[in-house]
A and B are shown apart, each in its own frame.
Chain A
């Protein structure tokens, strides 16, 4: 089944403890991206990757890092999480610059205390 898989689905952590949210897609998509969803603000893009070793900032990149060493994987790294990064995170991928739409993962609910 074609899908985007995120792990974990739920995560509670403490301020300052580094964490990684994984994202993997099995559709050979070249484009991958991370969004966060907050009440009243909708989904906002954090980082994106056009292909392996090509990444760039989205609208809200502060406090996040990404890497794209393999085409299928695009992990989101929070080096020192803070409570304002408590949010619902989504990974997305697409083929041919989104011509056929985007596929989203099931989301990761992160709580930073």
Chain B
């Protein structure tokens, strides 16, 4: 059974710093991995999608990496801003057949201090 862990559960950093959020998963046979952000009381906004054959994806100040063999993904945020404050969730999709569900971590709540 796939399990996804995100540590730490909460993180506070001063504005302007670069930071890394971690995601680990137990079953390396993933199809893809998706990073989301969730603002309080709001829905999930997709940030980056990494296919199992890829090593990283970039969008603006965000860079996500994937190491399937070690069961890890990281989300790097450059030059953090107060608007980056949110909960960040990673989710893995295990197979391309049968139930196409995502398995989520419980998230890292990020606070950027002005």
Contact = CB atoms under 8 A, between A and B. Distances in A.
* A and B together in one complex: yes
B61 interface: no
Given A41-B106, A104-B36, A98 B100 contact: yes
B42 A106 contact: yes
For chain A, give the interface size range: 20 to 34
Contacts of B105: 42
A90 B97 CA distance: 22
Contacts of B102: 43, 45, 92, 98, 102
Contacts of A103: 46
B34 A102 contact: yes
A79 interface: no
Contacts of A33: 100-101
Contact of B93 (A42, A98, A106): A98
Contacts of B34: 101-102
Contacts of A24: none
Contacts of B96: 97-99
Interface of A: 31, 33, 40-43, 45, 48, 50, 56, 58-59, 90, 92, 94, 97-107, 109
Interface of B: 4, 31-32, 34, 36, 41-46, 49, 51, 89, 91, 93, 96-97, 99-102, 104-107
Q: Enumerate the 7 nearest inter-chain pairs by beta-carbon distance, A residue then B residue, closest first.
A: A106-B43, A104-B44, A101-B49, A43-B104, A42-B106, A42-B104, A45-B101
